[in-house]
A and B are shown apart, each in its own frame.
Chain A
Amino acid sequence: MAALLLRRLRDLVLILLIVGTMMFFVVRLMPGDPAMAILGPTARPQDVEALRQSMGLTGSLWNQYLSWLGNVVQGDFGTSITYHASVIPVVAEHFLPTLTLAVISTAVSFVVAVVVTFWNAVAPRNPVAALLTRLSGLGMAIPDFWIALILVLVFAVTLRWFPSSGYVSILSDPAAAAPTLVLPVICLVIGQSALFILTLRESVLGELPQTYLRTARVKGLSERQVMLGHVLPNALMPLVTQLGSNFAMMMGGIVIIESIFVIPGLGSLLLGAVFTRDFPLVQGVTLFVALMFVLVNLLVDLSYALLDPKVRVS
């Protein structure tokens, strides 16, 4: 286990270095001069030059890279141009909304997938369970922005049950935050749970012919005991992989949903930073997302060890 963690730490440093370097150069390939973008078209050339100087945009590209790298290693990601604040607190502030959405929607999707799949496995003739399973194909096909707009139209504009937009921190005021989260979470859950149902159903179908189920049945266990006690733990592995990579993707920002529901998450932060040529912020957000990606995958690997005794031993 210690060896695994050490190896992962080495990989983490390498990945962050590669992502940071790539982003540094990609950002500088973007057309448009950040100093010009800030000062506007009517700015005097000497003002633009002075601003470029203060932003570290002068000198050769190589020198710019080295000084950026030196700062990053010391924990200085620079100052956001648009927010006039250090990058780290800005990213941290926008991380909470994204994390809230990702955690809640993933958890709900997981529960929905397990319940629907096993309901269908225990009672294959139940029409509702069969219908829900069939609908998962549809759930994957519908684009989330369309669902979002329909939900807003029905539940926010017409019925006025939930607000159409807005964000309240779940930490400061959970009661006020709950209604604002309902519609975005439903949007995310529809696509995600459909994907989870398909994954889980596939692996459950793969487990059903296994002979250890014959043993379980020959003990006189009920079908419910067979499904929940024997099939579920063994069928969960592929779903955990799927869940991990999905969650990691969401860490990168749920751009469309955040934009529609006006949630100040990482996705909208990154989008805004790209439009305003806020180089330090773009680099900071992407590095943070890469970090999250690696950490989530590490968590998934560790959970394998928990789920599969064979991994734990070897």
Chain B
Amino acid sequence: MSLLNLTDVTIGVTQDTAGHEERLDLVHGLTLDVVAGQTLCVVGESGSGKTVTALSVVRLLEFVAPVYTEGEIAVGGVDVTRLGAEQMRAYRGARIGMIFQEALDSLNPAQRVGAQLLEAYRPDGVPARGGLKARRAAEAKAKALLAEVGLTDTARIMALYPHQMSGGMQQRVMIAMALMSDPDILIADEPTTALDVTTQAEILALFQRVQREHRTACVFITHDMGVAAEIADRIAVMYRGRLVEIGDKLDILTAPRHPYTRALLECVPRLGVSRREGFPTISEARLRAVTEGTAGRDEPVTETLRLPDAPAPVGDTPPLGIDRVTKVYGRRSRLARRSPVRAVNEVSLEIAPGEFFGLVGESGSGKTTLGRMVAALETPTSGRIAFGEHQITPAGLSGDERAFRRQAQLVFQDPQSSLDPRHTVARIIAEPLRELTPLRGGELDRRVAELIDEVGLPAGCADRLPAQLSGGQRQRVSIARAVAARPRLIVADEPTSALDVSVQGQVMNLLLQLRRSHGISFLFITHNLSLVLSVADRVGVMYGGELIETGTPHEIATSSAHDYTRRLLAANPDLSAYIGRHGHPSR
């Protein structure tokens, strides 16, 4: 019996434009159902409407936006869209529990987690009555659930504030909190996206166990096909507010019917599939042609870039030498009992001219600190970094800083926050040119236009602000800014982790192209093992501030000597592992 039925649901917001109200549909005519005891994964890229749908089931959007919902959202046969506010309240928590992406932001920062857990105890959808007795029952329930989610030191955990816990612990607390009133339906909105892969694997296993033992129906929202492969019974694929395809996991992953599903699966980086010649990307035009029926449904909607075989000569790119570099943060202080943190410990590494070196590790492994030292944004505590005539030592950067900045540039993770929101695209790209090169006036404008074209931005972008661009376009702007002064080395710190998988392919293609055509060396920092193994010349694995091993992607993937690397590989939700076990996609 299905517990949750969405029938022809359209969700949208009313916008007040120029005096008259305008409706903007975010989800169109969605129909799907969730069966008791099963997990339905809703997969889609950003803007596909998956989160809006989830929030509409619990009717949380109405608190923050003027929303309207048409159609029927039935929970156990009752259409929740018609309930009054008070009746709806009884459904939240007691019938439907929810887990969000950022566990830290989802917990009240000023309240101990124990109090937050107890507050969620509302059996039958009403606050438990009976004073002390009810409180005892709530406490017993909270302790049992905390132990169940793996936080066995319950008394200590309940006295903690959210910021005193690790991301994995926070998400465990969130899961326990969602289960406090024994809901029939559990909705999880990207609950593992912000976590490291090994933590993600633990949380996914926990989620599956909890779902089995409590026999809840689950809606699990994710953008990651690999995660869906791990956890789903059925998969629903959404694209631009519409349901594209829904079916059993095996069917969707191995025999997708819709071209968009096929394209999405093709775009996901996988172990053992080299993408060094270019990533497939989804062609919007072809996808539209197929969905509108002007092209056959079997036409591929992906395009794969083929890079020229012969790379550009490396030219004058010098090798990058990192020699026993250590970075220690904080110093010993007598008043505050703080011990210094050894973020990077005795790391030595050579990157050859024109090499694409992938540095992979979990949060806190020191990979970003190492990247910042290579870009001379931090000085090492000991050791030295040499790049051509430039040296970065504990004394700082030797020689002319501008000359170094001409040679080495950085691309940051989040283009939204690393671009000045008040500068136009042209101004952002022109800034390093004006500072680092002698170009002025018309020549400068021509070079900016050239760069905008080179990174594949439409020419009309020049006068726009970052907020008027999409995520992928913003990252192109920061790449254009980085390559403007023709550097020989680019440190790219998680440049694609804020992007959708098809956009990730476009940005990676751009980086690969630039590398081929300009002979640039890359230090590519990421937590995405599948991505880095499919694209890098060599890969280094960092753990606890140490570079524990380096090798070719093949060596790392197949014959790693290191326990930690093997753990990372095992935790990595990879599609080819799943499809390898269960058959091959029919293409």
> Are A and B interaction partners?
yes
The yes or no answer to A206 lying at the interface (CB within 8 A) is no
Inter-chain CA distance A222–B110, complex, in Å, is 19
The yes or no answer to B98 lying at the interface (CB within 8 A) is yes
The yes or no answer to A310 lying at the interface (CB within 8 A) is yes
Report A-chain residues with C-beta under 8 Å of the C-beta of B161: 309-310, 313
- Decide: B63 and A229 in contact? CB cutoff 8 A: no
Q: Which of A3, A213, A217, A233 contacts B111, CB < 8 Å?
A: A233
- Which residues of A in the span 90-132 have a Cβ within 8 Å of any Cβ on B? none
- Decide: B110 and A211 in contact? CB cutoff 8 A: no
Which residue of chain B has its CB nearest to the CB of A214? Answer: B60
The yes or no answer to A291 lying at the interface (CB within 8 A) is no
Which residue of chain B has its CB nearest to the CB of A313? Answer: B164
- Name, among A208, A230, A307, the residue most crowded by chain B CB atoms within 10 Å (CB to CB): A230
Report B-chain residues with C-beta under 8 Å of the C-beta of A25: none
Which residue of chain A has its CB nearest to the CB of B93? Answer: A220
Asked if A218 meets B93 with Cβ closer than 8 Å, knowing A3-B335, A309-B161, A310-B163, the reply is: yes
Inter-chain CA distance A233–B106, complex, in Å, is 16
- Decide: A309 and B110 in contact? CB cutoff 8 A: yes
How many interface residues does B have (CB within 8 Å)? Answer: 38
How many whole Å from A87's CB to the nearest CB in chain B?
Answer: 37
The yes or no answer to A209 lying at the interface (CB within 8 A) is yes
Asked if A233 meets B93 with Cβ closer than 8 Å, knowing A211-B100, A215-B100, A313-B164, the reply is: no
Given contacts A211-B105, A216-B108, A217-B63, could you give 5 more A-B pairs where the C-beta distance is less than 8 Å? A215-B177, A218-B93, A218-B96, A307-B110, A313-B161
Q: Size class of A's contact patch?
A: 20 to 34
- Name, among A219, A230, A308, the residue most crowded by chain B CB atoms within 10 Å (CB to CB): A219
- Decide: A214 and B100 in contact? CB cutoff 8 A: yes
What 0/1 readout, one digit per residue, does chain B (90-102) give for beta carbons within 8 Å of chain A? 1111101110101
Report A-chain residues with C-beta under 8 Å of the C-beta of B174: 215
Asked if A219 meets B177 with Cβ closer than 8 Å, knowing A211-B105, A214-B106, the reply is: yes
What 0/1 readout, one digit per residue, does chain A (298-310) give for beta carbons within 8 Å of chain B? 0000000001111
Q: Which of B105, B110, B180 contacts A233, CB < 8 Å?
A: B110
The yes or no answer to A212 lying at the interface (CB within 8 A) is yes
29 contacts between A and B (CB under 8 A): A3-B335, A208-B64, A211-B100, A212-B108, A213-B63, A214-B60, A214-B106, A215-B100, A215-B116, A217-B60, A218-B97, A218-B98, A218-B178, A219-B93, A219-B120, A220-B91, A220-B125, A220-B181, A221-B89, A221-B119, A225-B119, A230-B111, A234-B109, A308-B110, A309-B109, A310-B109, A310-B161, A313-B161, A313-B164
Report B-chain residues with C-beta under 8 Å of the C-beta of A308: 109-110
- Decide: A215 and B107 in contact? CB cutoff 8 A: yes
The yes or no answer to A158 lying at the interface (CB within 8 A) is no
How many whole Å from B484's CB to the nearest CB in chain A?
Answer: 36
The yes or no answer to B58 lying at the interface (CB within 8 A) is yes
The yes or no answer to A210 lying at the interface (CB within 8 A) is yes
- Which residues of A in the span 193-239 have a Cβ within 8 Å of any Cβ on B? 208-222, 225, 229-230, 233-234
How many whole Å from B161's CB to the nearest CB in chain A?
Answer: 4
- Decide: A218 and B110 in contact? CB cutoff 8 A: no
Inter-chain CA distance A218–B62, complex, in Å, is 12
- Decide: A219 and B92 in contact? CB cutoff 8 A: yes
Asked if A220 meets B109 with Cβ closer than 8 Å, knowing A3-B335, A215-B100, A313-B164, the reply is: no
How many whole Å from B183's CB to the nearest CB in chain A?
Answer: 10
Q: Which residues of B contact A (CB under 8 A)?
A: 58, 60, 63-64, 89-94, 96-98, 100, 102, 105-112, 116, 119-120, 122, 125, 161, 163-164, 174, 177-178, 180-181, 335-336
- Decide: B106 and A211 in contact? CB cutoff 8 A: yes
Inter-chain CA distance A218–B88, complex, in Å, is 10
Inter-chain CA distance A35–B102, complex, in Å, is 72
Which residue of chain A has its CB nearest to the CB of B187? Answer: A218
- Decide: A230 and B60 in contact? CB cutoff 8 A: no
Q: Which of B64, B92, B107, B163 contacts A218, CB < 8 Å?
A: B92
How many whole Å from B585's CB to the nearest CB in chain A?
Answer: 37
- Decide: A215 and B106 in contact? CB cutoff 8 A: yes
Which residue of chain B has its CB nearest to the CB of A231? Answer: B108
Which residue of chain B has its CB nearest to the CB of A213? Answer: B63
Q: Which of A209, A220, A225, A307 contacts B92, CB < 8 Å?
A: A220
Report A-chain residues with C-beta under 8 Å of the C-beta of B119: 216, 219, 221, 225, 229
Report B-chain residues with C-beta under 8 Å of the C-beta of A307: 110
Which residue of chain B has its CB nearest to the CB of A314? Answer: B336
Q: Which of B92, B178, B336 contacts A217, CB < 8 Å?
A: B92
How many whole Å from A215's CB to the nearest CB in chain B?
Answer: 5
- Name, among A3, A212, A213, the residue most crowded by chain B CB atoms within 10 Å (CB to CB): A212
For the complex of A and B, the 4 pairs showing the least CB-CB separation, nearest first, are A220-B93, A220-B92, A3-B335, A309-B161
- Name, among B102, B109, B174, the residue most crowded by chain A CB atoms within 10 Å (CB to CB): B109
Inter-chain CA distance A148–B109, complex, in Å, is 43
Report A-chain residues with C-beta under 8 Å of the C-beta of B120: 219
Inter-chain CA distance A233–B164, complex, in Å, is 18
- Name, among B63, B112, B177, the residue most crowded by chain A CB atoms within 10 Å (CB to CB): B63
How many whole Å from B96's CB to the nearest CB in chain A?
Answer: 8
Q: Which of B58, B108, B163 contacts A230, CB < 8 Å?
A: B108
- Decide: A219 and B122 in contact? CB cutoff 8 A: yes
- Decide: A212 and B92 in contact? CB cutoff 8 A: no
Inter-chain CA distance A213–B89, complex, in Å, is 14
Inter-chain CA distance A214–B181, complex, in Å, is 17
Q: Which of B89, B91, B163 contacts A222, CB < 8 Å?
A: B89
How many whole Å from A222's CB to the nearest CB in chain B?
Answer: 7
Report B-chain residues with C-beta under 8 Å of the C-beta of A309: 109-110, 112, 161, 163
Inter-chain CA distance A221–B177, complex, in Å, is 13
Report B-chain residues with C-beta under 8 Å of the C-beta of A230: 108, 111
Inter-chain CA distance A234–B110, complex, in Å, is 6
Report A-chain residues with C-beta under 8 Å of the C-beta of B98: 215, 218
- Which residues of A in the span 18-77 have a Cβ within 8 Å of any Cβ on B? none
Report A-chain residues with C-beta under 8 Å of the C-beta of B105: 210-212
Inter-chain CA distance A211–B191, complex, in Å, is 14
- Decide: A218 and B122 in contact? CB cutoff 8 A: no
- Decide: B122 and A220 in contact? CB cutoff 8 A: yes
How many whole Å from B341's CB to the nearest CB in chain A?
Answer: 14
Which residue of chain A has its CB nearest to the CB of B94? Answer: A220
Inter-chain CA distance A236–B119, complex, in Å, is 21
Which residue of chain B has its CB nearest to the CB of A212? Answer: B108
Report B-chain residues with C-beta under 8 Å of the C-beta of A3: 335-336
- Decide: B109 and A218 in contact? CB cutoff 8 A: no
Report B-chain residues with C-beta under 8 Å of the C-beta of A217: 60, 63, 92
How many whole Å from B55's CB to the nearest CB in chain A?
Answer: 8
Report A-chain residues with C-beta under 8 Å of the C-beta of B164: 313
- Decide: A234 and B108 in contact? CB cutoff 8 A: yes
Report A-chain residues with C-beta under 8 Å of the C-beta of B92: 217-220
Report A-chain residues with C-beta under 8 Å of the C-beta of B91: 220
Inter-chain CA distance A171–B487, complex, in Å, is 76
Inter-chain CA distance A308–B109, complex, in Å, is 8
- Decide: B102 and A211 in contact? CB cutoff 8 A: yes
Inter-chain CA distance A308–B161, complex, in Å, is 10
Inter-chain CA distance A208–B60, complex, in Å, is 13
How many whole Å from B277's CB to the nearest CB in chain A?
Answer: 41
Q: Which of A208, A209, A212, A229 contacts B107, CB < 8 Å?
A: A212
